[in-house]
Every structure is written in structure tokens, then in C-alpha cells.
Structure 1
Amino acid sequence: MKKQILISGGAGFIGSHLADELLAHGYRVRALDNLSEQVHGPRAGRPDYLHPDVELIVGDVRDRAAVRRALEGVDAVYHFAAAVGVGQSMYEIARYTEVNNLGTAVLLEALIERPVERLIVASSMSLYGEGLYRAADGRLISESERSLPQLKASEWEVRDAEGKILEPIATPETKPPCLSSVYALSKYDQERICLMIGRAYRFPAVALRFFNVFGTRQALSNPYTGVLAIFASRLLNGNRPLIFEDGLQRRDFVSVYDVARACRLALEVPEAAGEALNIGSGRSYTIREVADRMAAALGKEGIQPEITGQYRAGDIRHCFADITRARKVLGYEPRVTLEEGLVELASWLKGQVAIDRVSDARAELAARGLTR
């Protein structure tokens, strides 16, 4: 008998790719998704990209009845349903807290009544805040933040107490959290409460800390989605990608195919139970470099990014993944490079319609004093 897997948020970007991965490996898949207008558009129905073998239940993770119905006959759960976006979370505080924190609590109460073999929750690199740094004398610095006067002076790099610039290095799971946005706080809450309740009620839980996931099916008209999709939306409309600070901040971009495979391994590998694991590519790129590569992939090299020199509340300077632990526990190994992934992404993008709402989002943040 094939195992039945539930993915909350399963009609979305990562969830739908995970569904493909699970179906290809002999699982049955059910998705619970509210088909949010911000993600799926105003007249959202079942997405064309969602595999026909996925059973879709349209419902909200905050709805106890919908969650109980979705859990019937389920062997394992992936909890991906969440409101996503650092900037937006800083003013839609109630919605982010309700969807992410309360939604997770509703799911967990249902799982206490009906335990499953495994719960895998989508966590986020955002909970680290700033990544790990190394001082000139070799000391590792795990707690670092940029001061408001420093940001106002456009001194973007993280410095030590003596004002010396620190070197960013790959961030391992052992780095303490530094929660710099409502979104980060909510993801940390999701991770911790899933591991806590899973341990207490003896259904093994795994938290996967996703870094910057990219690939096909991202919501191009959502100005709070992944940075590559935001850049693509601008470029497809003939507009310059907007980059905060100086564009030299570094991030880890990981293919959605690698993420989907890591998610399957988290279900199948017994040793993953109770773990919180980084899922990234193990490489870093500057935001400016990624904007240039996206433009080149789309044949839009003539559209140069706009370096705004502004900073945004909740943003951090550098953070990229140390994936040593995921390699050891899951046997995870990234297979898709950024270069390879951009070729496929560009091909998919040329058949998409993208409504560029980035300027509206930027104006909203500015009006609330969240960019300076």
C-alpha cells in the first residue's frame, strides 16, 4: 500500500515540486492549500502545474475542520503553509502571526489527536539574522547586528566592536538565532513548536531551514516572493531590478529540485528525526551578481539593476549555508547549479505573464518608514 502524504501549502512553489518528487517515488499525495490571492492571483483555481495525481483540498490551515479532513488516512505531513516575506511581515504583523503561528498550532492540535509517522516543517534561513562571521584574529562571531547610525551612514558591512569589518563565512545550524523580522520570528516559532510537540507526543519531526530557493512556478506577481522571481518580474516588464544597499550582500541560492529531494530524504531517513537542518547550495553569490545573471539568462543584458543605496528594516547583510550536517544526516548533495537552474528558469519565464508590483511594495514600505 502506497503511503499517503499531506503537504500543507502543497499547491505553491516548493510544495508542488515536492509533490512531483514524492509521486515519482511511489507515494500518494494530498495538498491542503487556500490558493491565496497574493500567490495564485485573484481568480485562482487549481494551478495548471499541479500534478493531476495530487488530491487538492482547498482550505485554510487555520480551519480546524479543513485540517482534520485533510489528515484522514495520512501517514506523514509536510507543513509548508505560511505567509512569506520579510518586508511585508513588518506591517502585516497580525496576518503573519495568525497564518504562521496559529496555523501551525491548529495543525499540531490535530496531529495530537491523530499522530503521523513523521512531520517535516519548512523553516527558514531568516531565523539566523546575520550569518556567521570571522574576525581578523580568527575568532568566530555568532552574534552581530548593524547599528542604525551605521546603516544611515551607508556603512553596510558588519563590524566588530573596534570597527573592523568581519569576514562572512558559511553558517551552520549551531549558530544562535537572531530574529530581525516578524517573518523570521514566526518561522522560528514554527520550527521550535513542531520539534517540541513532535517530541512530546512521539511523532518524529524534522525542520528544514531553506535558504533562497529558486526555480519554476514562483509567483511572479507577488512582490514579496523570492528575489530571483522579483528580478524576473521587473526584467520581463522592461524595468530595472531594484537592489537595496550596495548589492554586495551575499546569499545562498538553492534549486527547488534539490530542496524537493532534501524534503523526501527527511521523510525517509530515520536519523533525521528531531533535527533542524540547513538546506542550501553551499555556495554564495552577491545580489548584484544574481541580478546580472538573471538579466543575461533572459536576454535583457541592457537593463542594468538600480542600486538604491537604501536599507530595509529586517534585512541582514550576509548569510549563506553550511550544509555539512544535511550531507551527513540525509546524504543530501546539491545537484543543480545556479547557472543550470537559470537556463531552465529563463525558458519557463518567457511563457509567463508577470505583473510588476515591486514599485507598489517599495512605496508601501517607504510610507511606513521601513526603508531609509
Structure 2
Amino acid sequence: MKRVLITGGCGFIGGHVAQELADHGYRVRLLDALVDQVHGDEAINLPTGAELIKGDVRDRDAVAEAVADVEVVIHLAAEVGVGQSMYEIARYVGTNDLGTAVLLEALIKHPVERIVVASSMSIYGEGLYRTPDGERIDNARRKPTDIKDGLWDLRSASGEALSPIPTDEEKRPDLASIYALTKYAQERAVLIFGQAYGIDAVALRLFNVFGAGQALSNPYTGVLANFASRLASGKRPTIFEDGEQKRDFVHVSDVATAFRLALEQRQAAGHAINIGSGHAYSISEVARLLAKAMGIPKRPPEILDKARSGDIRNCFADIAKARELLGFEPKHRLENSLGEFAAWVRNSVVIDRGADMRRELEERGLVS
């Protein structure tokens, strides 16, 4: 019956993690600022017996109250979204990095057994690639001139086409957005702190998380929720570039299980670990699968043939380390879970702000 603090515990992932831990006998305390962009006017559903402290992770007093008498911490509180991070820079750095610093300082006075932080696949930038002769390339990056000319796929310095392969944790970080920068700072701060103070620390590098409960009115949340909002509003999903960029989509229930395992598996301490499905999907394929699941298969996505600043081409997970250290095995494939997701969308309030997001980026010159 350990008491766990979940920062950002009322968010999409936080809510599922809270329920997972409550179901496994943890006493759950949540700290959440209940930001309008994420929560709007929606009611907050807490697991039975859970305690909620409404407060910002940057508020020292609220954080001190939240960490008192807890034994383990899951740190999810963060601003999320590559595009928005490129112009609301102070907001992202403040919440993600200063907020983490405030939490860690509080844990000096109130030590815990373990802290698990949500990191992100965005810290990799481009994922791993191989050349035609099998050489591993972990520092691939597109040239701005190629992007401007609509040459979306990556090539080696000699002009050879590179093939994307699953990205493992040995791939060097390449921070392509302010959001990625802040997530890497969160990850490293927690791992450095844990080593310095003798507290077990684990970082989970989450790939694209999907499932019921995503904020359908927040265009900077997951791509699947963004597509669902467009489709439910009678509009076509919009996709940057040519739609053939590949991502890994992992179900939120599997992510919640991963966080519980990260609290419980001793051998995970000190590690950064990928949490994904281990499968790659093109973004246009995802849009078509979702439209079919929502009963409107003849509403194809709108391919913009434009690039968004901070985006990368391909990144999908190698989850061998998660299997080894956590005993993690994802149970929900994207193509088998979209019916459930579509049913939830049909019973939810949807406000499509996708056009607002695109306009905000274009006005700042972040789309080319």
C-alpha cells in the first residue's frame, strides 16, 4: 500500500496511470494545475480513494504539500506539443524544466524510494537509419534546402537513400524542437538527481500515445486525437509533408502498465527506456484507418506538402530494453484498438481547433 504522487495526474496519461496504480493497491495522490487547454470544462474523474491537490508544479508550496509522506513519484506534469513549443518557449521551459527543478528540490527534504519521469521519443530527433550497405546512421538530419524543395526522405552525404529502422536507446539525442529540449532536460535532471541522492530514478521515453481520454479540443496533443477532432467535425484530417512519415503508436493502457512496472522492477533504476508498440505506421495510413473506424472511409486526409518546423521524418521504437528490464509487452495494436477509440470519440464533446493551430504556426513562419 505505497503512497504514490503523480504530477500531472489528471491528464490523459496521468488518469490511466492513476487508475492502474489504484487497481494494484497503491494509495494515489495527484498534483495537477488543471490547465484549460488540456481539461477545458470537463469533469475530472478520480480513482476511488485518490487525493487531488490542485496546484502548479512550479509552486513550491503546492509541491511540498504533494510530496509529504509519499514513497514513490511519477512525474508526468509537462506542456506537450512540438509545434506550440516553438513559439510559447517560456511556457514550455517554465513548466517542464523549472517545474521539474522545483519537484526535485522538494524531494531533497522529503526523499522517496523511486521517481519515474515521462520522457519522450522527441529527444531522438530523427530515428535510426541504415545505408544500403548496412551501416547504422544515428545522426541523420534533413537539410533545410531539401525540406524547402519537398525532398522529404533522408539521404546520406553521398546521396544514397537511407532506410529507417527501429530506434533503440543507444541512439544519440538530436533535439529538433524546444519541446524535445525540455523533455531531455527533464529526463537528465531526474537521472542525475537520483544518482546524486541515492534515489532510484527511471525515465520512460514515450512514443505516440493514443486511447480514450485524449483532449479532443487541444490541437497540440496526439496526432490521433487531432485527426479524430477533424473527422468528427466533418472535415478532412490535415497532414504535413506527404503523409509517408512513420511513427510508433502505443496504447495508453500499455503505457500505464509500463509506469507501474517502472516503479516495481528494481533493475530498471538508472535507465532511460523506450515505451512504444514496436511497430511503425505511416501518418497517412493512420488517418485512413481512423476514418474507416469512425464509419467515414471516404474522407481521405488532406496532404499539405508543407513542413512544420521541429518535425522529423521517421522514428519508431525498439522496445527490447523495456522487455528485458520491465517485462513490458504491449497488448494493444493500433489497428485492433481504433474501434474502441472511435466509439469514445462519438460520445465525447469535440471542438476542432486544427485550423487555429495551423494558422498560428503559419503566422510565425513555422510552416514552409
Which band: TM-score by shorter chain? over 0.9
Within 5 A, what are the aligned runs for 1:193-232?
193-232=189-228
The residue matched to 1:143 in structure 2 has which SS?
coil
The residue number in structure 1 matching 2:159 is 163
Partners of 1:341 and 1:24 in 2: how far apart? 22
The residue matched to 1:245 in structure 2 has which SS?
coil
Within 5 A, what are the aligned runs for 1:40-189?
40-41=39-40, 43=41, 46-47=43-44, 49-189=45-185
Task: Please state how far the C-alpha of 1:164 moved relative to its aligned partner.
Answer: 1.5
The residue number in structure 2 matching 1:11 is 10
AA matched with 2:198: R
The residue matched to 2:242 in structure 1 has which SS?
coil
Task: Please state how far the C-alpha of 1:129 moved relative to its aligned partner.
Answer: 0.1
AA matched with 2:347: G
AA matched with 1:348: W
TM-score by length of 1: 0.98
The residue number in structure 2 matching 1:278 is 274
The residue number in structure 1 matching 2:287 is 291
The residue number in structure 1 matching 2:23 is 24
Partners of 2:290 and 2:113 in 1: how far apart? 41
Partners of 2:90 and 2:109 in 1: how far apart? 27
The residue matched to 1:127 in structure 2 has which SS?
helix
The residue matched to 1:176 in structure 2 has which SS?
coil
Partners of 1:367 and 1:53 in 2: how far apart? 46
Partners of 1:282 and 1:161 in 2: how far apart? 28
Partners of 2:289 and 2:310 in 1: how far apart? 26
Task: Please state how far the C-alpha of 1:344 moved relative to its aligned partner.
Answer: 1.2
Partners of 1:304 and 1:332 in 2: how far apart? 35
Task: Please state how far the C-alpha of 1:163 moved relative to its aligned partner.
Answer: 1.4
The residue matched to 2:155 in structure 1 has which SS?
coil
Partners of 1:259 and 1:234 in 2: how far apart? 25
Task: Please state how far the C-alpha of 1:216 moved relative to its aligned partner.
Answer: 0.6
Task: Please state how far the C-alpha of 1:52 moved relative to its aligned partner.
Answer: 3.4
Matched, 1:303 2:328: no
Task: Please state how far the C-alpha of 1:72 moved relative to its aligned partner.
Answer: 1.4
Deviations 1:286-325 (A, max 9, x none): 0000000111111111211000000000000000000000
* Paired positions, count: 368
Which structure 1 residue ranges, 5 or more long, are not aligned? none
The residue number in structure 2 matching 1:363 is 359
Partners of 2:362 and 2:46 in 1: how far apart? 36
AA matched with 1:29: V
Partners of 2:118 and 2:61 in 1: how far apart? 22
Deviations 1:121-157 (A, max 9, x none): 0000000000000001110000011011100110000
The residue number in structure 1 matching 2:342 is 346
TM-score by length of 2: 0.99
Partners of 2:141 and 2:135 in 1: how far apart? 16
Partners of 1:148 and 1:275 in 2: how far apart? 34
Partners of 1:296 and 1:55 in 2: how far apart? 40
Partners of 1:124 and 1:371 in 2: how far apart? 23
Task: Please state how far the C-alpha of 1:51 moved relative to its aligned partner.
Answer: 2.1
Task: Please state how far the C-alpha of 1:233 moved relative to its aligned partner.
Answer: 0.3
Percent of aligned pairs with the same amino acid? 60
Deviations 1:249-277 (A, max 9, x none): 00000000110001100000000100100
Partners of 1:20 and 1:323 in 2: how far apart? 24
The residue matched to 1:77 in structure 2 has which SS?
strand
Which structure 2 residue ranges, 5 or more long, are not aligned? none
Deviations 1:204-225 (A, max 9, x none): 1000000000001000000100
Partners of 2:49 and 2:156 in 1: how far apart? 54
Matched, 1:263 2:250: no
AA matched with 1:291: A
Runs of 4+ residues over 6 Å off in structure 1: none
The residue matched to 2:314 in structure 1 has which SS?
coil
Task: Please state how far the C-alpha of 1:113 moved relative to its aligned partner.
Answer: 1.0
Partners of 2:255 and 2:262 in 1: how far apart? 10
The residue matched to 1:369 in structure 2 has which SS?
coil
AA matched with 1:334: P
